[in-house]
Structure 1
Amino acid sequence: MPSTTRQRFVIREVPEPAGAPAPLPEPAVADLRLETVMAALSDPLRLQVVRKLLLDREEFDHPCGWFGFDRPKSSLTHHFRALREAGLIRQRQYGLERRSHVRVEDLNARFPGLLELVMAWTPDQD
């Protein structure tokens, strides 16, 4: 019987900087709903956003330009808003720029194991 080994992923933790702006409106931890979170993650681009923030982040939070998507700004705004309203990411307004990071602690408390599944996902290489 073949053995299966699971790759272990580590969430890159970066401390919150002092003086960070208050987060934009988001659902409370108790209000996070699995069906809403899964619906937001059903889009491959949004899934890729969350995975990249978990595995590749360099700072506490990142602007949408950091992801390198070749999409119109209005499209990206829609995707990031869907992630924030579902409770997956927290966004803060820095002047004209919104920066995002994953609500790791909140999601792990509410849906243990979900973020590990997101990290293990690999986008199709078409």
Structure 2
Amino acid sequence: MRQYQHPDREHISLTGVLYGLSDPTRLQIVKMLATNQEITCGEFCLTLSKSTQSHHFKVLRDMGIMHTRLMGTQHYNSLRREDLDARFPNLLEAILKNAD
């Protein structure tokens, strides 16, 4: 079974998080994750090809913003809010509050 790599909390960098959130599509994904516990890939309703969506999900995982777990054929995605808040208090909330 395929497993995704996620950086440990202490390896999440500020520049990585800011890079991950700098793209409007990735910011939209994070905003959706912020209002839900977990979302499967199909529930995002993005008007992008699957390969483009996969790229954005990978960037968010690699930067430590999103966690993906597999259950059968479903990919469940969640926001790593606790880890982000521990590393950079109030950063995520400020970004989400001020994102258009």
Give the counterpart of 1:46 among 21, 26, 29.
26
> How many Å apart are 1:87 and its aligned residue?
0.1
Which residue is equivalent to 2:63?
86
**Bigger radius of gyration among the two:** 1
Partner residue in 1 for 2:45: 68
Runs of 5+ unmatched residues, structure 1: 1-22
Report the Cα distance in structure 2 between the residues aligned to 1:79 and 1:94, rounded to whole angstroms: 20
TM-score normalized with structure 1 length: 0.72
In the aligned structure 1, how far is the partner of 2:24 from the partner of 2:88?
20
Deviation of the 1:104 alpha carbon: 1.0
Q: CA deviation at 1:95?
A: 1.9
User: 1:106 maps to which residue?
Assistant: 83
Q: Deviations over 1:72-98 (max 9, x none)?
A: 111100000100000001100122221
Q: Which runs of 4+ in 1 moved over 6 A?
A: none
Structure 1 vs Structure 2 CA RMSD: 1.4
Q: CA deviation at 1:52?
A: 1.3
How far apart are residue 119 of structure 1 and its match? 2.1
Question: Partners of 2:7 and 2:76 in 1: how far apart?
Answer: 17
Task: Give aligned pairs, total.
Answer: 98
Task: Give 2:11's aligned residue.
Answer: 31
Question: What TM-score, normalized by structure 2, do the two folds share?
Answer: 0.89
